[in-house]
């Protein structure tokens, strides 16, 4: 996305970047003319699984508000995984519904994780 690295990133920043990338990949798949392919969805399923595991593993390293927001983000990541898996087994309207639900949950997870980053930055600046 062309952003310049200007500071040292911690684990939460990396999880946020991975979640943003996941959302981007799902929205690209949703916007694809002719629909997402099975290969697209399998790649999304793997990506969603990796991000979820990484985020889950970092919850215990966070504190206070950041921890709560990250846990909320993991809940949405798990839902994203579930919807992507459903999309692999469906077709037609139910396929579209699963992809849109995956997109909505990926968006919500990115939102929660950026709130975790904001809480951590705010605490560090006090």
Partner 1 sequence: MRNYVAVVFDDTGKAYEGLHALWQLDDAAEVTVHGTAVVHRDALGNFQVDTKETHPALATAVGVGVGALLGLLAGPAGAAAGAAGGAAIGAATGGVVGATADLVRADNRDQAATETRFVLGAGQSAVIADVSEDWTSPIDTRMRTLGGTVYRRAKDDVADDVWFDDDYFYPSYLYPYEYIPSSYSL
Q: Is 90 in the site for partner 1 (CB under 8 A)?
A: no
The stretches of the chain forming alpha helices (DSSP H) are 11-31, 38-58, 64-88, 92-125
Taking the C-alpha atoms of residue 122 and residue 69, their distance in angstroms, rounded to an integer, is 14
Candidate list 56, 82, 101, 107; residue touching partner 1; CB under 8 A: 107
Residue 119: strand, helix, or coil: helix
Candidate list 54, 75, 90, 114; residue touching partner 1; CB under 8 A: 114
Taking the C-alpha atoms of residue 69 and residue 117, their distance in angstroms, rounded to an integer, is 9
Q: Is 67 in the site for partner 1 (CB under 8 A)?
A: no
Candidate list 30, 59, 71, 85; residue touching partner 1; CB under 8 A: 30
Sign of the alpha-carbon dihedral angle for 41, 44, 48, 49: positive
Which positions lie near partner 1, rule CB under 8 A? 1-7, 19-21, 23-24, 27-28, 30-31, 33, 96, 100, 103-104, 107, 110-111, 114-115, 117-118, 121-122, 125
């Amino acid at each position: 996305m062309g952003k310049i690295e200007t500071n040292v990133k911690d684990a939460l920043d990396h999880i946020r970047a991975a979640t943003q990338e996941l959302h981007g990949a799902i929205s690209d798949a949703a916007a694809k003319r002719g629909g997402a392919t099975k290969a697209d969805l399998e790649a999304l399923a793997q990506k969603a699984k990796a991000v979820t595991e990484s985020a889950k593993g970092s919850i215990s390293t966070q504190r206070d508000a950041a921890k709560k927001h990250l846990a909320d983000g993991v809940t949405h990541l798990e839902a994203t995984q579930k919807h992507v898996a459903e999309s692999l087994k469906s077709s037609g309207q139910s396929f579209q519904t699963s992809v849109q639900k995956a997109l909505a949950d990926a968006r919500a997870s990115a939102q929660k994780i950026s709130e975790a980053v904001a809480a951590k930055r705010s605490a560090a600046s006090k």
